[in-house]
Structure 1
Amino acid sequence: MTSTVERRSQIVQIVNTQGSIRVEALAQLCSVSSVTIRSDLSYLEKQGYLLRSHGFALPNNRIMHELSIKEKRSQHADVKSLIGQAAVKQIQNGQSIILDSGTTTKEIAANMQHLNDVVVMTSGLDVAMELVSADGVQVRMPGGILRKNALSFSGISAEKSLENYFFDKVFLGVDGYDLKVGITTHNEQEANLNRLMCDISTQIIVVTDSSKFGKRSFHVIREFSGIDMLITDSGIPQEYLQAFQDQGVEVILADTK
C-alpha cells in the first residue's frame, strides 16, 4: 500500500507533468477516494507545492522540476565553474570530504588536481569520473541504486555504507532553497542520503547558483539554519543574503572579488 508521503509525492509529479488535472482523475490514478485527494491537495497547497482552482489541481511555478543531467549542464555553466573554483579553496590537504552528486559539485572535482592525501566520498558517478586523473585524491563511492537521469547513487545500501564514516566537510548541491522550507531536492532516496551526509560531517557547505533561491522541491534535506557555509553568486536575492547572515552562515559570492 502506498504511504501518504509517497502518494502526495506522486500527486505533485502528476500535476507538474500534466499541467492541470481534475480531482476525480487524481483519485482514480492514485486509487483513493476524492475525499482523500482533496485532503492531500489542501495539505500540498498549504505547503506551496501546487494550487487548487474549481475542482482542478494546478502546478505552482515556484516549484522546481527535475531536469536531466544533460539539461543541468547547460544551465548557468559559467557561474557553476566559478563556484567550483571558490569551493575547492575550502579543502585542505589531508582532509576527508563528501561531494554530493550534481553539476556544481562536479565543478569542484574538476579543480582538485593540485590536492594531496584527500579522501572523497561521492554519490555522483560523473563526479567520481572527474577525479580519476587527480592522483592525490582517493575516491570512494557508497554504492546503491544508480539514478540514470541524475547519474547518482542512492538507496538503503548507499546509506548503510556511510554509517561508520565521519568526514571533515560535505559539499551539498541543492535543487531548491526556500526561506520557509529550507534545502530541498526532488528524490526521496537522495534526500535521505543527503541528510545522512550532513549528519556525519563536521562542516556543511552548500554550493548553488542563485537561480535556486525562492524555489522548492518536494523533499526537505535540511532546515534553513542548518548549514555552516553557502557558496553562490551575486544574484542571490537580498532577503536571502540577509537571512543567511542573520543566522551566522558564512556566505561566499564566487563571482565577486
Structure 2
Amino acid sequence: MDRHERLNALLDMIGQRDKIDVDETAAELDVSPATIRRDLDHLAERQLLTRTRGGAVASNVAYDLPLRHKAARNAPEKQRIAVAAAKLVERGMVIGLNGGTTLTEVGRAVATRPDLGERGDSPSLTVVTNALNIANELAVRPNIKIVVTGGVARPQSFELTGPFATKILDEITLDLVLLGVDAVDPLRGAYAHHEGEASINRLMVSRARHVAVVGDSSKLGGHAFARICATNEVHTLVTDTSAPDKTIEAFQAEGVRVITA
C-alpha cells in the first residue's frame, strides 16, 4: 500500500468509525505507528480530521470530509429514511433534490420505484438538482427528466453553488423539494455548514410547494453555520426511529408532520 492509498484508507476509517487509534490502525494497515502519526498529521493540516492524543477524530470536521467518506455513517438509517422520503414523490411531479449522502440514497430510492417506471414517450418525473453525483446516477433513467442547475462544484459535496445556480431556480416551480441538511431544530429551523449550499437550498425551498427535510436523528436538535429556512417553512420531516419522542413532539408542535422509518 503506497502513501496515497494509505491516506484514503485512513479517511475511509474516519468516515466509518468517527475516531481511530494510532496503534490499532498501524496494526490494521501493517505499518509503523510513526507512519500513521505522520499521515494523521498530514490530514489534520488539510482539515480533513482532528488529531487527538493517540489518534484522530472526525467529529468537528465531518462536513468537510469528501462525500464518499461520510457515506457509511448511519447507512442503514439513511436507506430506510430514503425509502420513506421517496414515497412522498408522485408521478408527474417536479421535485428538487440537493446534495449529501442521505439525498443520494433518496435519489436512488426514487429512481427504483416500480410505479414511477417509464410509460409511453414522456418521463414520469422531473428532477431538479444541484448535486452532480445525483444527476449522474439519474441521467441514465429514461423515466426521469434531469435538470441540473449551474454553478461552481464543491468537491466535498459535489453540489453546485454560486450565482449561476440561481438563474435556473429563479425560473422554475417545484412541487416538492427533498432537502438534506446538516442540522435541523424545531425552533431554529434547518441549517447547512456551508453558506453557499445554504443559499441554493434556501432558493429551492422558496420555489417549492411542499418542503420535506430528510435527515437521520443525529441531525435533529442542533444548528450549523448557515440557516437554510425557518421551521415554519418545513411541511414534513423524515427521520429514523431513534429520534427522541420529545424532539418529534417539538416539531409537531410547530406544525411539522414527522415520518419515522
- Does the pair score TM above 0.5? yes
Question: Once structures 1 and 2 are overlaid, which stretch shifts more, 167-176 or 239-248?
Answer: 239-248
Measure, in 2, the Cα distance between the counterparts of 1:129 and 1:244: 34
Tell me which of 75, 78, 87 is aligned to 1:77: 75
Name the residue aligned to 1:229.
236
Name the residue aligned to 1:208.
215
Q: Do structure 1's residue 131 and structure 2's residue 160 form an aligned pair?
A: no
Tell me which of 175, 180, 194 is aligned to 2:201: 194
Give the conservation status (yes or no) of the 8 Å contact 1:98–1:169: yes
When the two structures are superposed, what TM-score results if normalisation uses the length of structure 2? 0.71
Give the conservation status (yes or no) of the 8 Å contact 2:186–2:251: no
Runs of 4+ in 1 over 2 A off after TM superposition: 61-68, 178-181
The Cα shift of 1:182 comes to 1.8
SS of 1:84's partner is helix
Aligned-residue sequence identity (percent) comes to 33
* Stretches of structure 2 lacking an aligned partner (at least 5 in a row): 1-46, 52-58, 119-123
Q: Aligned runs of 1:61-210 on 2, under 5 Å? A: 65-111=63-109, 112-113=111-112, 114=114, 115=116, 116=118, 117-210=124-217
Distance 1:75 1:131, change over 3 A: same
Give the conservation status (yes or no) of the 8 Å contact 1:62–1:215: no
Tell me which of 219, 226, 229 is aligned to 2:226: 219
Distance 1:67 1:215, change over 3 A: farther
The Cα shift of 1:131 comes to 0.9
Measure, in 1, the Cα distance between the counterparts of 2:95 and 2:204: 10
Q: Provide the aligned length of Structure 1 versus Structure 2.
A: 199
Question: Once structures 1 and 2 are overlaid, which stretch shifts more, 212-221 or 194-203?
Answer: 212-221
* Stretches of structure 1 lacking an aligned partner (at least 5 in a row): 1-14, 20-60
Measure, in 2, the Cα distance between the counterparts of 1:192 and 1:171: 15
Measure, in 2, the Cα distance between the counterparts of 1:199 and 1:246: 22
Structure showing the higher helix proportion among its residues: 2
Distance 1:253 1:145, change over 3 A: same
Measure, in 2, the Cα distance between the counterparts of 1:62 and 1:235: 22
- Give the alignment's Cα RMSD to 1 decimal: 2.3
Distance 1:84 1:219, change over 3 A: same
Measure, in 2, the Cα distance between the counterparts of 1:228 and 1:64: 27
